[in-house]
Every structure is written in structure tokens, then in C-alpha cells.
Amino acid sequence: MSIQINQLDFSYINNNIFKSLNLDFKQGKFHGILGPNGCGKTTLLKTILKLLRVDNSCIFLDDFDINNIQTSKLALKIAYVEQSSNQLPHIGVRDYINLARYLFDDYGDKENKVVDRVVKLLNIEKLENKYLNELSGGELQKVIIARALAQETKLLILDEPTANLDPLHQLEIMELLSALVKSENLTIITTLHDINLSLTFCDEIVLINKDKIIQGPVETTLTKKNIKRYFNLDSYFTTNPFTKKPFVILNQ
Amino acid sequence: MNLNKNKNSIIIIFLILLGILLVSLSVTKGSVKISFKEVIEIIFNNKEASRSHSFIILNLRIPRTISAIVVGMSLAISGAIFQTLFKNPLTEPYLLGISSGAALGVTIATVFNLINIIPGIWGTFIFAFVFALLTAYIIFTLAGKNRSSLLILLLSGLAINFFFSALNSLLLYFNRDKLENIIYWQMGSFSLSSYEKILFTMPIMILLIIILLFKTKELDVLLLSDDTALTIGVDVKKQRVMLLLITTLLTSFCVGLAGIIGFVGLIIPHIVKLLFGLKHKYVLPLSLYLGAIFTLLCDILSRTLIPNTEIPIGIITALFGAPFFLYILRKTKAGIL
């Protein structure tokens, strides 16, 4: 599943966010969206999800104008993981994952095969009988991703999935997402703040800062010049001895 | 798991027996004592029973019992749904001022003799509904986009509650001739129940309750944030407006039937959630049942606690409700609800 954005204009009252934005999210890739706070990363995700309304025909899902797809039917195409700050209800992990089956006939089935599958896929069997508020930050993020996967969409959109997590769980979540792109042939679009995590795991990068927006493969987009231009930071590139991927040290 | 199942079956059997007991008490107890045997004779063969007893059972106590059951069901299910819609364990139609809005509508109509514009008993219910709807609209607009913010929502509801109570008092102050009737009715009572009212309201209320019972899936998803619920496939705005309309209609019918009865919508869903969890598949039907038996119990107490005197039921439910409200506040801090 791919997404094309053609000439997207978006503004909140008196605040232009995007002007004539063109982007192309290719199928089967891990896309990272980076930029300073308040630059419009979440806004971009929300326009794709139709959580924010765009009047013109400028966002296309596999060549279909998303304005012609009912919001509820979009749930069969794209799943979404919000930023973690949102309050979650006091319900069990399995019941929570089951909510993703709302549009399907197997909703609420005791032995739901899809729920079983995602629980196994994410290796969270031991959390199944717990309540959401008994989970640690890392466990909770995995359960939320499991819920999104249970929608069985080919496109997964995440908003800062590593925020508030310790380094171990940041790596674990990114590895998990990266593995899903390959094993499940998913397309993933995620906003991120960590440049090194992006260098290690993403295939494609979108850099946003006001009206300067570029998109391209990670190695040619997250460069010394662009880091200066988009984050106003100096950088020193080296190689991560463990992953053999580029590693960057930043300085103000 | 087995222990839980056993525990649940014991609770359910207990609740069924309690329901049967309360219905029998409701028709036998009151200022005139009528034995259960006589009640059965009156219902199935009223030739030998005394005419006055027969009248009391058939025209007073049975409609009263039916009203208490239907109003209790409606209040409890409305409370359960409000708590999910506003993502807030402390909301119910009464606390948010919807009931007082409905009551104000009836007072205005009574004081200005508007009720007779609409023939029959329709007037009361229509004025109650229009004002309840207006209140719901005002609260929604005031709470705006921060619908989930506890503080804004409760403060808006509280402000509306005070404002409408003041308007109500003002109207009554200048119309003292109607004071006693209106005040007594507003404190809540099933003493004015009649078949006419039941026949008019019950089919609609039962229909609305059935529609709500078909919404358990949507309500489950609405426990999540609006954005997540939307991306899972629930048309949040449409569902919210529809559920709010139905519960407002139910609440205003309750006010029309029995005045203001607070706290049922708060206590009952919470007891159910504490015992059986948050899944609406359980919360809604169990709230209906517990709401009915709690209201029935309060109604029986209201007419038997002090001999030959009827205490308004709103006072009884609040006497139970207020301490429970404090208990809920403590539990909420611990993150259980």
C-alpha cells in the first residue's frame, strides 16, 4: 500500500503548516518523519488518516482519493498508533486488542484467531491476562502496536512510538517495527525524534521544518548538511560498530 | 477462572431472587397492608377480593412498580453511557444538570400554563425533553473540544445545575400557589404513576433501551481516545450524537414520570463495573437490572420507612448515593475506574 500526496495545502487559523506539499510513501518501506517540535509531523499523519479534514483531492491511497473513502472504511486500510500520552481504559490486554476487530465478524470471539496471531507475533503471550494499567511503558507500547496490527491493514502509521521509553525499549520497538515491514510486508510511516534510531532502522526519511520539506532514502537525506539546515545542529558522522550503520554525534 | 465463574453465578442467582423479593414487597407493602396471597388473588381472580384492595393493587401499586422498574433501568443505563461518552467516571445525567434542565422545562410549562397547549400527558414529557436537550447542547458546547476534561465538564454541569435551580426557585417564588406540588414532584416520586403515563412512555423507553443494547460494540471502542476510535472504524461524532440524544430522551422521560432522581445513574454502573469490568456487553444489561432493583428498593423504603408518610425517593437515593460518591472518588484516585 502506497500513499501519494500532491500539492497539499494545510493551515490552522492564521498558521500555514503545509504549502503545495508533495510526498510519496512507497509500499513495503519503513518511512521516518523527522523535524523540530511543532513543525507539523503529527498534522501530516492526521491528514493522511482523515482525522484532519483536507478539502481538495490531494492525498491518494493506492491511487484512490482518500476523500472518497469513508472514514470508517479507511480503518480497513490504515491502522494508527497515537502518541502514548493518551489515557487508556482499565481493561484487559486481550479485550483491548480485540477492539481492533470492530469492523469484523470475529469481534469479541473468545478464541479470536487474529488476536492469537498478533499476540504470538509480538511475543506478548505473558501479558495476555494482565490489565493495561499493570503494564510497563515498553510492554504497553507493544500491546498498542498489537492492537493496531489486529486491524490487519497493510499500512501502519505511528506517532512517536519511542517517546517516553528507556533506551532498551526504544531499540526493541524499532527492531520490532523494522521486522514487521519485512515479515508482514507492511508499509510503516512513523514520526521520530531520534536521528540515530532513524539512521539504523528507516528506509526513507521525510524532513520537515516550516516550508522546507524533503524526502528521500535515509543515507542521502539524513546528511550533515540537512541536519544543520533542519535542526540547526552540527554533526559528526561515524559508523555504529554493532550495526555497521551510520552513527551521528550532535553538537549545538 | 472457575472461582470467578462460581462467584458470578452466585451473584446472579442472588440478584434474581432479590428482584423477585422486591417486586413482591413493592405490591404488598405500603400504608395499606395487603397479603401476598390476596395480591395473587386480585391479579388472577379479583371476584373475592375487596374492591378497595383491588383498586390499590391494580391502579396504584402495579403501575408504580412498573414505573420504578423502567425509570431505574433508564437512569442506570443512561449513567453508564454518559460515563463512556464523556470518558469520565463521575458523569451522569443528574450531575451534569440534564435532569434539572428537564425539571425546569416542566416548571416553566406548569407556571405559565403552557402544558395544556399540548393535549393529554404529552405536554410534560415534551417540555422535559426540549429543555433536557437544550442543557445537553449547552454543556457540550461549553466543554467544547475538551470534552474529556473532567474539570471543564463537571464545572459546566455544575454551573448549569445551579443556574437552572436558581431559575426554578425564582419561578416558584413568584408562583407560590403551585409551590408544594412542584417541589414535591421535583424531589422525585412514583406516587403519581398511572397506566396512562406508562402506556405512553414505556414502549418508547423500552425501544430506546433496546437500541442502546445494540450499541455495546461501539461503546467499547469509545472507551479509547476519539482519534483511535475513528481509526478503528467508529464514526465517533455520529455515534456520540445518537447516544446522547437517546439518553437525554430517556432521562427526560424519567423526569416526566417521577421527577428528579439523582445518583442511580452514578452508583449502579459503578457497582457493575467494579464487579464485572468495563465491557458494555455486561455493563449495560447488568446496569438495567441493578438500576431497576435499586430504584424499586428505594421506592419501597420511601413509602414504608415512616408509617403513613411518603418520603420523596430523590431523598432516599441521594442518602445512599452521596456516601457512595465519596467512596468512588477514593477508588478513582487509585486508578481502578
Instruction: Return all residues near A187 (Cβ < 8 A) that are at least 6 apart.
Output: A1, A2, A3, A25, A26, A27, A28, A29, A31, A154, A155, A156, A181
A189-224 pLDDT per residue, tens: 999 999 999 999 999 999 998 778 999 999 999 999
**Chain A contacts in chain B segment 235-254 (CB below 8 A):** 235
Mutate to test the interface with B, among A45, A46, A71, A189 (most CBs of B within 10 A): A71
Q: Average of pLDDT values for B177-204?
A: 84
pLDDT the model gives residue A146? 96
Residues of A near B (CB-CB distance < 8 A)? Answer: 46, 49-51, 71-76, 78-80, 82, 86-92, 95, 99-100, 102-103, 107-108, 133, 151
Does residue A79 contact residue A149 with C-beta atoms inside 8 Å? Answer: yes
Cell numbers for A19, please give them. 504549502
Question: Which residues does residue A239 pair with via DSSP β-bridges, in sequence order?
Answer: A246
pLDDT at A155 over 90: yes
Q: d(Cα B334, Cα B146) in Å, to the nearest integer?
A: 23
Q: Quick one: how many helices (H) and strands (E) in chain A?
A: 9, 12
Between B46 and B97, residue with greater pLDDT: B97
pLDDT the model gives residue B286? 94
Do the chains contact at B233 and A72, CB–CB below 8 Å? yes
pLDDT at B334 over 80: no
pTM (predicted TM-score): 0.89
pLDDT at B60 over 70: yes
A50-69 pLDDT per residue, tens: 999 888 889 999 989 999 99
Q: For A52, which residue in chain B has the nearest alpha carbon?
A: B227
Chain A / chain B CB contacts < 8 angstroms: 69
**DSSP string of B181-241?**
HHHHHHT--STT--HHHHHHHHHHHHHHHHHHHTTHHHHHHHTS-HHHHHHHT--HHHHHH
Contacts of A158 in chain B (CB under 8 A): none
Half-sphere exposure of residue A128: CA atoms within 13 angstroms, side-chain side:
16
pLDDT the model gives residue B89? 77
Beta-carbon count within 10 A of B196 CB: 11
B7 and chain A in contact, CB less than 8 A: no
pLDDT the model gives residue B46? 61
Do the chains contact at A89 and B278, CB–CB below 8 Å? yes
* B133-164: burial string, b at 16+ Cβ within 10 Å, e else: bbbbebbbeebeeebbbeebbbebbeebbebb
Percent of chain B beyond pLDDT 90?
Answer: 34
A19-43 pLDDT per residue, tens: 888 999 999 999 999 999 988 899 9
pLDDT at B114 over 70: yes
Do the chains contact at A91 and B223, CB–CB below 8 Å? yes
pLDDT the model gives residue A218? 94
Cell numbers for B46, please give them. 379479583
Instruction: Return all residues near B26 (Cβ < 8 A) that are at least 6 apart.
Output: B61, B64, B65, B68, B296, B299, B300
Q: Average of pLDDT values for B304-309?
A: 86
DSSP letter (8 states) at residue B177: G
B205-251 pLDDT per residue, tens: 999 999 999 999 999 999 998 899 999 999 988 998 899 899 999 99
Average pLDDT, chain B: 85
Q: Average of pLDDT values for B43-62?
A: 79
pLDDT at A110 over 80: yes
Does residue A148 contact residue A136 with C-beta atoms inside 8 Å? Answer: no
pLDDT at B326 over 80: no
Nearest chain B Cα distance for residue A242, angstroms: 37
Q: d(Cα B176, Cα B182) in Å, to the nearest integer?
A: 10
The confidence band for B333, taking pLDDT boundaries of 50, 70 and 90, is low
Contacts of B235 in chain A (CB under 8 A): 71-72
The confidence band for B260, taking pLDDT boundaries of 50, 70 and 90, is confident
pLDDT the model gives residue B57? 84
pLDDT the model gives residue B1? 42
pLDDT the model gives residue A142? 93
The confidence band for A177, taking pLDDT boundaries of 50, 70 and 90, is very high
pLDDT the model gives residue A117? 95
Beta-carbon count within 10 A of A79 CB: 26
pLDDT at B168 over 90: no
Nearest alpha-carbon partner for B39 in B17, B58, B67: B58
Between B140 and B277, residue with greater pLDDT: B277
Nearest alpha-carbon partner for B70 in B189, B188, B196, B203: B203
Q: Cα B314 from chain centroid?
A: 11
Percent of chain A beyond pLDDT 70?
Answer: 98
pLDDT at B112 over 90: no
**Phi then psi dihedrals of residue B189, to 5 deg:** -165, 145
pLDDT at B262 over 90: no
Structural Rg of chain B based on CA atoms: 20
Do the chains contact at A133 and B281, CB–CB below 8 Å? no
The confidence band for B73, taking pLDDT boundaries of 50, 70 and 90, is very high
Between B306 and A98, residue with greater pLDDT: A98
Helix (H) or strand (E) holding A34: strand A30-34
The confidence band for B48, taking pLDDT boundaries of 50, 70 and 90, is low
Q: d(Cα B242, Cα B81) in Å, to the nearest integer?
A: 11
A218-248 pLDDT per residue, tens: 999 999 999 999 999 999 999 999 999 999 9
